[in-house]
């Protein structure tokens, strides 16, 4: 069963949201990816966003020069989950119930959600992939660990079908109760990765995020990529300066 709000309920909700936004614009700056609301102006919109301009560990980055190391393996303990899909106006975010974990050395993280950007926010030697999925995890100490899975057009990935078959409209939230996504099947077979210190790629651009970008891309059907781009033609923050950071690459 798919719990999707009726058009009448959705229209009322959107009208209420618009009315609230009209009276609360000072409290919730409207940021986006183009023009006066684009990434170049995020820091000007709210004092809480100043790290977007002043930070020294900002994401995304271009991955070009790396140092190879014996990095700890990424151990995914991902199960199956009935997803809740949210179109928050910036991306499609898939919230997952507790129980899926990532262990990296002596650190353990819980998977909270994953979402998409097109084109990829991270670049490899200056080149974007068609999309990227960011799997956002949080440790018990509150530390964030984000795994980036690069996406190129190609053969369909069945694990993503429940998501792309039910992409929510702006402001909509959908729970797909009858379908389960197999989270582990969303990952490539090779779990080699690049590791670096970074930040959130959206306001407030908070730093202290541990980034792990998988080296092997996955593929989605071109039609799935086009379906996402109809909602979000471009929702990627430009790459940020390294400022002395070292990008480590697993052997």
Could you tell me whether strands 144-153 and 207-214 are parallel, antiparallel, or unpaired per DSSP bridges? parallel
Tokens of residue 24, six digits: 């609360």
Nearest to 100 by CA among 68, 147, 65: 147
Instruction: Dihedral sign for Cα 159, 162, 167, 168, please.
Output: negative
Residues with Cβ within 8 Å of residue 6, at least 6 apart in sequence:
none
Nearest-angstrom CA–CA distance, 25 and 147:
33
User: Which of 23, 90, 117, 166 is labelled catalytic?
Assistant: 90
Beta bridge partner(s), residue 75: 103
DSSP class of residue 127 equals: B
90 is catalytic: yes
- Are 136 and 148 in contact by the 8 Å Cβ rule? The answer is no
Query: Which residues are the active-site residues?
Result: 90
């Amino acid at each position: 069963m798919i719990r999707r709000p009726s058009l009448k309920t959705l229209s009322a909700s959107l009208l209420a949201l618009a009315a609230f936004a009209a009276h609360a614009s000072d409290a919730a700056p409207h940021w986006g990816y183009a023009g006066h609301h684009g990434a170049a102006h995020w820091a000007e919109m709210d004092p809480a966003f100043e790290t977007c301009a002043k930070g020294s560990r900002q994401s995304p980055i271009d991955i070009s020069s790396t140092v190879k190391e014996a990095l700890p393996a990424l151990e995914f303990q991902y199960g199956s989950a009935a997803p809740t899909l949210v179109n928050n106006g910036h991306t499609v975010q898939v919230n997952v119930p507790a129980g899926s974990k990532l262990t990296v050395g002596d650190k353990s993280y819980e998977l909270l959600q994953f979402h998409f950007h097109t084109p990829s926010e991270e670049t490899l030697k200056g080149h974007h992939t068609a999309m990227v999925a960011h799997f956002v995890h949080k440790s018990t100490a509150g530390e964030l660990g984000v795994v980036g899975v690069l996406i190129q057009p190609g053969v369909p990935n069945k694990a993503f079908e429940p998501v792309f078959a039910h992409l929510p409209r702006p402001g909509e939230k959908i729970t797909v109760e009858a379908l389960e996504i197999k989270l582990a099947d969303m990952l490539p077979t090779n779990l080699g990765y690049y590791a670096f210190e970074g930040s959130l790629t959206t306001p407030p651009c908070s730093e202290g995020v541990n980034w792990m970008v998988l080296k092997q891309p996955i593929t989605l059907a071109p039609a799935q990529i086009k379906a996402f781009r109809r909602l979000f033609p471009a929702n990627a923050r430009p790459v940020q300066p390294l400022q002395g950071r070292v990008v480590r690459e697993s052997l």
